[in-house]
Structure 1
Amino acid sequence: MPEQSLSVALRENLLKYREEAKSMLFDLVSIQSISGQEGKAQRNLHRRFSALAGETYLIPMKESLRADAKFASGIDVPFEGRPQTRFFWQGKGKGRSLIACAHVDVVGPGDWKNAFEPRVEGDRLYGRGATDDKAAIVSIFLAVKVLQALGVRLLGDFEVHLTNEEEVGMAGALAFVREGFRADGVLVLEPTDHNIHIANRGCLQFKIHVEGKQAHLGNKRYGVNAIEKAAKIIDALVRYEDKLIEEGKGYPLFEKFEYPGQVNVGIIKGGDFFSIVPDSVTMDGGIGFLPMKTMAAVEKEFLDVIDKIGDPWLKDHCRVEFNGLKNEPYQMPLSHPLTDALMETLRFLGRNPEIGGMMATCDARYYFNQGGMPSIVYGGANSKLAHAKNEYADIMDVLETAVDYAAFLIDWCGTSD
């Protein structure tokens, strides 16, 4: 634990950075870093982290990553011009090492006008990405800055990974892992309302093609209505969702979720004219599933659901693709030194966090599943505002979260004093 006097010093000094926190967050939110457009924000952050004691790099994402068996992305944008930022602060001894990871990309604004023109109302800063995930970037930046200002020397190595494409498949995290960066623990920075997440659910994107047979309305029975066939599939998927929910109830770390499984058809396209029997339909959607299932198992279950509809036409005229997002779930052991250490730090600071799982996916899965590193997720308030219209971050919470991060760095990495 940091000494009580050091804990007080962290809080007192971080409060002095209130205006800097507001200014930095304002600037970051002003940069439209929608997935695939992160270059300007990454260069801004490279410049900022370069002012800290340590080494800062811009690391290009390699196009060869697309051939990786674990690569998945919801966009098709070249990696050129949008490298990722890595900050490295070398430790002074034999302490435990840590990677902190936060993502630079944000989702689109939807119908939120002026989403990238941040506004400040009291202690709140509104704008797309304010809470997801740029507040966390400001918090970890200030955590390092205040530790260095106080002359703290960590024993273990510490580095920050600022990733691209988290919102569309987490290719940035995979890129860092494939570059070979490793640590004794990974802290993924996401808004968690100051709770600790040690698991996240998986997500599988699907596309269904249904072929029909075109005919005139007056000869409908001589055709095959692809929309009607698609409706049978939707009905079966609703029942599959019910099955996922029932299977997931009471699963450890996800007990609080009333609906622990999801199947959603989000896009349907079919038909050209009201009096023509449609000969094709495409449906795009996703499946959310708990770590109790593997990606391969869910793919098989999904295909079995359609096969068991028992419609002879569908057996030969329905095709399913899983070519989009394939976000694997991940789950840490229920007890682990990394989780225990963060819990101890937070309790020392007066917090009482819950340990649970995320009903979403994040960069942690690649660090844990492919990188083989213990990985947990922790961050500030307002998680329910992620992706929402009028998303905002509280500046005081940004600073308090920075205190949490700084104290944990001391506890996990150790200090030479």
Structure 2
Amino acid sequence: MPQQFTCAQVQEAVRTLGDEALQWLQDMIEFESVQGNEAGVQDYTRQVMEHVGLTPQYREIPDSLMGDPEYSHNENEMPYAGRYNVVDTWGADEGRSVILQSHTDVIPGGEWQEAFTPRFDGTYVYGRGATDCKGPVVMMILALAALKKLGFEPRGRIESQFVIEEEVGGNGALALIRQGCKADAVIIGEGSLLNVFPANRGALWFKLTTYGKSLHMGRRNEGVNAIEKMMEAARHILDYEQELIRESLNYPLFERYEAPVQICLGMISAGNWPSMVPDECTMEGGVGFLPNKSKSQIEHELEQAILRTDDEWLRGHYKLTFDKLRNDAYESDPNHPLVVGLHQTAVECGIDSEIFGWNVSCDARLYAKLGGMTTMVYGPGTIADAHAAGEKVEWRQVIDGAAALALTLSRWCG
């Protein structure tokens, strides 16, 4: 007979581990686990998992991954020697399986001097990664620790994956998918306010360069100003944004968003002297899009938008590339039994939870699109706090989220 637990039993097991788990989160925040500096937090995560009775292992990431067509290139690329994912497998292969995944890498603290000095005020835990994503990591480990405490023996396999390089596009997750990880469903730990998100927006970064003809300001009319050509291109790009919004309104699971998609013109640079006509202008930006479009469609449509110009010079003197973040949108079945089960269990445990789409991009799309697995996002905290000075997570959400997750796992893998 499968082991049957009540919400109250699981909540009590989580509660008895709460003080210890609070310390785990504060300890993890102390690690400045930016890209290239993840070893310390990964070692600590492995130790915590061993402490609660799991048997985690380091999983190497080969440098050859950089040649993968889905690899997210970035300006801080470095070898993967000594930089690992942490993976644990618990249970048998006699029932339904699940992957629990979140990430321990964070963005830099920036001007926030206390970013890596954790603080708990009785309600919130503050520090870089509190929401994104060390809070969700602790929620997942706490759920597993509670099940261990209850004597749960999963008939189906529970694979826990705590990865690096999510913040630069998901290369840690990509490595595990290329290494063959597979399960009946995947739960990604991100700040969802304990809602269940079976669909995510995509995000595509672009770099546009316009070229001109440089001359002294006194002969401006004989030159071609690359900034002015960029202004013309930007006008058409923003026109395309309005088209994208119209095509995406009321898309299933994203109906609540007034502007579910967007184009951000993020950085621009040109010229090196005030009285010279610049011959080159570069702009970088991003496109957010829903599952009604693929990233290849967005690439094509963005270029076609630029080519709508009547400016013959611009049509022949630009370069558009997509060399950095290239996150596809995805959607899984909102009626999948684990999507529904996780949501219903959360409600059963007193959580105000809904099922809808998330207008944010994360590792989830890799498991859905490349791994072919039903994938959902669930975790404590809100995206509004992620990456912010003063990033925080409500501790009660970590506790409540862990209890609902533990009960869900007992039913799915029991």
Q: TM-score category by the smaller chain? A: over 0.9
Could you tell me how far 1:351 is from its partner in structure 2? 3.1
Q: Is the 8 A contact 2:334 2:340 kept in 1?
A: no
Could you tell me how far 1:18 is from its partner in structure 2? 2.5
Could you tell me how far 1:352 is from its partner in structure 2? 4.4
In structure 1, the partner of 2:88 is 87
Stretches (4+) displaced over 4 A: 1-4
Q: Is the 8 A contact 2:87 2:162 kept in 1?
A: yes
In structure 1, the partner of 2:201 is 201
In structure 2, the partner of 1:232 is 232
Secondary structure in 1 matching 2:47: helix
Question: In structure 1, how many angstroms separate the alpha carbons of the residues matched to 2:133 and 2:201?
Answer: 19
* Letter in structure 1 aligned against 2:366: Y
Question: In structure 1, how many angstroms separate the alpha carbons of the residues matched to 2:261 and 2:347?
Answer: 32
What TM-score results when the alignment is normalised by the length of structure 2?
Answer: 0.96
Could you tell me how far 1:359 is from its partner in structure 2? 0.9
Greater alpha carbon shift after TM alignment, 260-269 vs 73-82: 73-82
In structure 1, the partner of 2:51 is 51
Could you tell me how far 1:394 is from its partner in structure 2? 2.0
Q: Is the 8 A contact 2:116 2:128 kept in 1?
A: yes
In structure 2, the partner of 1:76 is 77
Asked if 1:191 is matched to 2:227, the reply is no
Secondary structure in 2 matching 1:283: strand
Describe the superposition over 1:54-84 as per-residue Cα deviations: whole angstroms up to 9, x where unpaired: 4211011111111112222334122122111
Query: Equivalences for 1:205-284 in 2 at 5 Å?
Result: 205-284=205-284
In structure 2, the partner of 1:26 is 26
In structure 1, the partner of 2:413 is 413
Secondary structure in 2 matching 1:239: helix
Describe the superposition over 1:192-238 as per-residue Cα deviations: whole angstroms up to 9, x where unpaired: 01111011111111111111111111111011111111111111111
Query: Equivalences for 1:286-325 in 2 at 5 Å?
Result: 286-325=286-325
Root-mean-square deviation (CA, aligned residues, Å) is: 1.6
Could you tell me how far 1:53 is from its partner in structure 2? 2.9
Q: Is the 8 A contact 1:236 1:305 kept in 2?
A: yes
Question: In structure 2, how many angstroms separate the alpha carbons of the residues matched to 1:383 and 1:288?
Answer: 15
Question: In structure 2, how many angstroms separate the alpha carbons of the residues matched to 1:160 and 1:333?
Answer: 22
Secondary structure in 2 matching 1:245: helix
CA distance 1:393–1:186, shift in 2 (3 Å)? same
Could you tell me how far 1:13 is from its partner in structure 2? 2.5
Question: In structure 2, how many angstroms separate the alpha carbons of the residues matched to 1:14 and 1:204?
Answer: 39
Could you tell me how far 1:312 is from its partner in structure 2? 1.1
Question: In structure 2, how many angstroms separate the alpha carbons of the residues matched to 1:212 and 1:283?
Answer: 14
* Letter in structure 2 aligned against 1:79: Y
In structure 2, the partner of 1:395 is 395
Could you tell me how far 1:240 is from its partner in structure 2? 0.9
Secondary structure in 1 matching 2:309: coil
In structure 2, the partner of 1:130 is 130
Secondary structure in 2 matching 1:357: coil
Q: Is the 8 A contact 1:131 1:191 kept in 2?
A: yes
In structure 2, the partner of 1:160 is 160
Aligned identity (percent) is: 37
Question: In structure 1, how many angstroms separate the alpha carbons of the residues matched to 2:294 and 2:311?
Answer: 28
Secondary structure in 1 matching 2:384: helix
Q: Is the 8 A contact 2:212 2:225 kept in 1?
A: yes
Question: In structure 1, how many angstroms separate the alpha carbons of the residues matched to 2:28 and 2:292?
Answer: 38
* Letter in structure 1 aligned against 2:120: V
What TM-score results when the alignment is normalised by the length of structure 1?
Answer: 0.95
Question: In structure 2, how many angstroms separate the alpha carbons of the residues matched to 1:73 and 1:101?
Answer: 22
Q: Is the 8 A contact 2:131 2:386 kept in 1?
A: yes
Could you tell me how far 1:98 is from its partner in structure 2? 0.9
In structure 1, the partner of 2:14 is 14
Q: Is the 8 A contact 1:61 1:172 kept in 2?
A: yes
Q: Is the 8 A contact 2:346 2:401 kept in 1?
A: no
Could you tell me how far 1:3 is from its partner in structure 2? 4.9
Greater alpha carbon shift after TM alignment, 40-49 vs 128-137: 40-49
Could you tell me how far 1:111 is from its partner in structure 2? 2.2
Question: In structure 2, how many angstroms separate the alpha carbons of the residues matched to 1:383 and 1:305?
Answer: 31
Secondary structure in 1 matching 2:113: coil
In structure 2, the partner of 1:140 is 140
* Letter in structure 2 aligned against 1:364: A
Unaligned runs of at least 5 residues, structure 2: none
In structure 2, the partner of 1:151 is 151
Q: Is the 8 A contact 1:216 1:276 kept in 2?
A: yes
Question: In structure 2, how many angstroms separate the alpha carbons of the residues matched to 1:39 and 1:381?
Answer: 25
In structure 1, the partner of 2:67 is 67
Q: Is the 8 A contact 1:269 1:281 kept in 2?
A: yes
Unaligned runs of at least 5 residues, structure 1: none
Give the count of matched residue pairs: 412
Question: In structure 2, how many angstroms separate the alpha carbons of the residues matched to 1:11 and 1:353?
Answer: 17
